[in-house]
Structure 1
Amino acid sequence: AEADSQAVLPCKYKPNSIYSPAVIWSKVNNGTIWKKKKSGLQFWGSDWSVKGNQRARCPHYEFSRGDYSLQIKNVREGDGGLFSCTVQTGDQVIIILVMLRIIKVSSSPSFPILDNSFSISCNVTPWPYGASVQWIVNNSSFMQQMEITSDGETINNVVRERATPRLAGNWTCVVGYEGKVGRASATLTMKGITKPFEDNTKVYAPVGSEVTLPCVFSSGLVPSSPAWEKLKPSPILLPASFSPSQPVMDKSITLKEVQLEDEGMYRCSGTVSGQRLTRNMELVVAKIDSSFPSKERGYVSLTCKLTNTSEVTEYEWVRVVYDHNGNQSVESIQKGKFITINKMSVENQGEWACRFYGKYGILGNVTYHIQIMSKLSPCMSAVTNHSLCCSNNSETILTILHISSPQRNQILQYPALETIVHTISNEREQRERNREKK
């Protein structure tokens, strides 16, 4: 039985007598556990009853079937050993012996520090000579080096390894002996830098965005002398300023506006119990390059680029659409690293996003905005020099008029603009009069 579980020690005998038998459960060389007299009175040994709470009991409703099995709750290593079940009815006395072996998995230290040595053991009390031991780690078989005892027995109930993220998790010890199998499990939790959990983790961010480089230590660890370095492409010690609102184990830093030159390898570090713990990570920067094909006027070609594409398995382009509540949805999904868009089409205007995926799902995305435009009419040079353009769109005209009106009592800074506005306004009024006549 696994430590801290319930063990059931079998004792089944169908007596010939119609009278209720007397039953005694004892641990060999260690006294009585539980007994029931023929009268029905029950007694518990002092080691098996604490403050009226009995750890061992026999379900009386099974007696009529001849089942006198003993149930022991929360078994301990000290419970292991030989037990006897004595059933007395009339002049018949039946004794059944049961060996209880307790299996327990434990590690030393209880919470290994990452990159340090640790051991995990499978203890069986009492140990069965000639037993086989197999280890399963996170549902996969684990092979380790065998040890040979002084009497020539090969054992593998102890594993000694260096603490790495892949060894964290569930460890199960499977013990085989004389055709029977028992097992016990334990969760191995490692201390150190838990986010990111592994070295060389990649963090993705588009140009111009804000990104946090994570560096979180295990709960309960207070690292001293935390520091950040940029390792590649050129080594530099970063002036890491940690927010007072951050928990003491969180030494993450934030880059407010990512630039292309921020890509590369970073390292965070901190000292715990005299040991310097480090974690390396890579910042991958994404951007969209645009070009305008000379043969296709009004079109723009977009290319999704990342400073490291080793994890990327697929690219996807989507047009992002927002409703009046600000909720977004996507449409026009297209696969591939490149895309050519007719920017004069109203259906294509707005926000486009390049999503990039890895083996386990989406890694990140980067966006490109196509300006909302309508058909343009020629503009005078004075307007063009000020990055303004003429439009037949009435909303644009009204906006220009609204901006221009406060200037009427002042010196006009853009006389050409006022002329254009009046000209367009007059043309618009003339068109409306012509429509009314028709």
Structure 2
Amino acid sequence: MLFEYFIFGVAAFVMTGAQCEMTEVFAEAGSQAVLPCKCSSSYSYSPSIIWTKVNSGTVWRKQKSGLQHWGSSWYPKGLQRARCPHSQFERGDCSLEINNVREEDGGVYSCKVESGHKVTENVISLRIIKVSVSQSVAIWGTEVSVSCKVTPWPYGAGVQWMLNSSPFVPLTGIPSVEGVVKERATEKLTGNWTCMVGYKGKQGRASATLTVKGIIQPSKDNTKVYAAVGSEVTLPCVFSSGLIPSSSAWEKLKPGSGFNKPAPGRLPASFSPSSPSTQPSLDNSASLREVGFEDEGRYRCSGIVEGQRLTRNIQLVVAKIESSITSKKKGSMALICKLTDTSEVTDYEWVHVVYDNNGTQSFESIQKGKTLSISKVSEENRGEWTCRFSGKEGILGNVTYQVQLMSGLSGQKSSSLSHNTAAVVGLSILLVVLLLILVQMYKNHQRRKRIFQYPALETIVHTTSNEREERERNREKK
């Protein structure tokens, strides 16, 4: 390379009045490269221009007569891959445009402009940058490499990687060697990779896209899903389009088990996969029909794709509201919003849900804080109280509690009194009825007692009555 520069330098200075400039140009493979060449716009007649590449001969030349000529490799099948636009000559611009540059186009070029006895020569080093990935579509967990190739390579150049317009920090902590990044494929590697090369004050760049397929929902491991006690919740597990996992399964991980080798536990009774394992599907989500506070913890979804087991851990965070009576005399109580994991919670908000006669829902009494104190439980503040908990990215979830008017709380003294009055009236009526029944039974008893004191009289009365009945029967027969 140094020898080539030396040859061009010597050739330029041997000529009388020669001027020589050396320029670095970077171009991405497949793009258009512009090799600069300044020429004077004050020529009295048309100059001759010749573009050559070291070890490859003529690229393009124009004689003073205006006749043009292309090198055989630059005019394949009548297509002009290299040209100098005539419209730029009047501006003193004799730059060469090369379309759809290839790696083999990299090298040293010379632009020589001759007008009379004045010769101007520019030397340009064209370097082609190409970014390639070992597999454009990688499966999560497999090894993938992204390489940056520069032809010819500028020794001493600085290389920096950008991923989705942000500086890339190696996940393994090992920096790239000679422009090559090697990592285990994860969702963090998905996107546009850009290699930026800096050399002698010039900078070039090239890009390539890497797609990592696997479990796309949730997009990252240990995603938290929030649910209220008694509600139904879905644990998402969706694979990338085109990936149909086999042997898909769900497990609940035991508390305290490590992330590298988590120990499986028992799934809740209300746990239900969305689709049977006998019917492979992209969507392997599962649901809990009725969440219990004890159902909190980590769950793992897994499936085999192309011989690689893909997994995703999901943490279920359960919320509930606990109530306590702070003062029976004053009729006050406290509601506490409790979650099994508060690491992402930054704010609590209490909302009173009110319904009118038409069933329309409205919200009142918005308060902040994890604990809600109700100083007086009355008709105004009874009903639904909802605790909303939020994080940095917005509302995470909510849980609702129903406040009822209970004995011993505010407003219950009058209620208790009315209940006691009704009970006393009822007992009084019952006692009066029982007393009347006893009096009647006593009268009947006394009457029988008086009759039994004269048995002879009772016999006479009974005999007379029988004889009367006998005479009436005989009269009817006649």
Query: What pairs with 1:87-236 in structure 2 (closer than 5 Å)?
Result: 87-90=113-116, 92-137=118-163, 139-140=166-167, 142=169, 145=174, 155-233=177-255, 235-236=265-266
Amino acid in structure 1 at the alignment position of 2:230: G
CA distance in 2, matches of 1:247, 1:84: 62
Deviations 1:83-125 (A, max 9, x none): 2323343454433221111122222232333233222211111
Amino acid in structure 2 at the alignment position of 1:209: S
1:17–1:90: 8 Å Cα contact kept in structure 2?
Answer: no
2:196–2:204: 8 Å Cα contact kept in structure 1?
Answer: yes
Name which one, 1 or 2, has greater alpha-carbon Rg: 2
CA distance in 2, matches of 1:371, 1:21: 99
Match of 1:332 in 2: 365
1:319–1:333: 8 Å Cα contact kept in structure 2?
Answer: yes
1:134–1:156: 8 Å Cα contact kept in structure 2?
Answer: no
Are the structure 2 counterparts of residues 15 and 29 from structure 1 closer, same or farther at C-alpha, using a change threshold of 3 Å? farther
Structure 2 residue 339 is the aligned partner of structure 1 residue 306: yes
CA distance in 1, matches of 2:187, 2:317: 23
CA distance in 2, matches of 1:186, 1:80: 20
Deviations 1:254-284 (A, max 9, x none): 2233222322211111001111111111111
Tell me the SS of whatever aligns to 2:311: strand
CA distance in 1, matches of 2:124, 2:130: 19
Match of 1:344 in 2: 378
CA distance in 1, matches of 2:105, 2:336: 69
Q: What is the CA distance between 1:137 and its match in structure 2?
A: 4.3
Q: What is the CA distance between 1:353 and its match in structure 2?
A: 2.2
CA distance in 2, matches of 1:91, 1:79: 32
The one of 8, 11, 14 equivalent to 2:37 is 11
Are the structure 2 counterparts of residues 325 and 41 from structure 1 closer, same or farther at C-alpha, using a change threshold of 3 Å? farther
Match of 1:279 in 2: 312
CA distance in 1, matches of 2:358, 2:30: 55
Task: Say which is worse superposed, 221-230 or 286-295, in terms of deviation.
Answer: 286-295
Tell me the SS of whatever aligns to 1:129: coil
CA distance in 2, matches of 1:318, 1:49: 76
Tell me the SS of whatever aligns to 2:299: strand
Match of 1:408 in 2: none
Match of 1:410 in 2: none
Structure 2 residue 107 is the aligned partner of structure 1 residue 81: yes
CA distance in 1, matches of 2:361, 2:102: 58
CA distance in 2, matches of 1:299, 1:49: 92
CA distance in 2, matches of 1:14, 1:187: 43
Are the structure 2 counterparts of residues 211 and 78 from structure 1 closer, same or farther at C-alpha, using a change threshold of 3 Å? farther
Are the structure 2 counterparts of residues 249 and 340 from structure 1 closer, same or farther at C-alpha, using a change threshold of 3 Å? same
2:253–2:265: 8 Å Cα contact kept in structure 1?
Answer: yes
TM-score by length of 1: 0.72
Match of 2:450 in 1: none
The one of 312, 317, 321 equivalent to 2:350 is 317
Are the structure 2 counterparts of residues 105 and 260 from structure 1 closer, same or farther at C-alpha, using a change threshold of 3 Å? same
Q: What is the CA distance between 1:325 and its match in structure 2?
A: 10
The answer to which structure has the higher helix fraction is 2
2:190–2:210: 8 Å Cα contact kept in structure 1?
Answer: yes
Are the structure 2 counterparts of residues 229 and 84 from structure 1 closer, same or farther at C-alpha, using a change threshold of 3 Å? same
CA distance in 1, matches of 2:141, 2:325: 52
CA distance in 1, matches of 2:358, 2:90: 71
1:232–1:266: 8 Å Cα contact kept in structure 2?
Answer: no
Tell me the SS of whatever aligns to 1:265: strand
2:386–2:399: 8 Å Cα contact kept in structure 1?
Answer: yes
2:143–2:184: 8 Å Cα contact kept in structure 1?
Answer: yes
Task: Say which is worse superposed, 276-285 or 355-364, in terms of deviation.
Answer: 355-364
2:245–2:280: 8 Å Cα contact kept in structure 1?
Answer: no
CA distance in 1, matches of 2:302, 2:281: 14
Match of 2:19 in 1: none
Are the structure 2 counterparts of residues 289 and 73 from structure 1 closer, same or farther at C-alpha, using a change threshold of 3 Å? farther
The one of 67, 74, 84 equivalent to 2:93 is 67
Are the structure 2 counterparts of residues 13 and 115 from structure 1 closer, same or farther at C-alpha, using a change threshold of 3 Å? same
Are the structure 2 counterparts of residues 118 and 141 from structure 1 closer, same or farther at C-alpha, using a change threshold of 3 Å? closer
Tell me the SS of whatever aligns to 1:62: helix
Amino acid in structure 1 at the alignment position of 2:378: M
Deviations 1:392-428 (A, max 9, x none): xxxxxxxxxxxxxxxxxxxxxxxxxxxxxxxxxxxxx
Query: What pairs with 1:272-421 in structure 2 (closer than 5 Å)?
Result: 272-295=305-328, 297-320=330-353, 330-341=363-374, 342-344=376-378, 346=380, 348-370=381-403
CA distance in 2, matches of 1:90, 1:326: 97
Amino acid in structure 2 at the alignment position of 1:77: E
Match of 1:430 in 2: none
1:287–1:306: 8 Å Cα contact kept in structure 2?
Answer: yes
Query: What pairs with 1:37-48 in structure 2 (closer than 5 Å)?
Result: 38=64
2:274–2:287: 8 Å Cα contact kept in structure 1?
Answer: no
CA distance in 2, matches of 1:36, 1:325: 89
CA distance in 1, matches of 2:48, 2:357: 82
Tell me the SS of whatever aligns to 1:189: strand
Are the structure 2 counterparts of residues 352 and 69 from structure 1 closer, same or farther at C-alpha, using a change threshold of 3 Å? farther
Tell me the percent identity: 63
CA distance in 1, matches of 2:388, 2:136: 43
Amino acid in structure 1 at the alignment position of 2:239: F
CA distance in 1, matches of 2:59, 2:74: 6
Amino acid in structure 2 at the alignment position of 1:99: S
Count residues with an aligned counterpart: 374
TM-score by length of 2: 0.66
Tell me the SS of whatever aligns to 1:64: helix
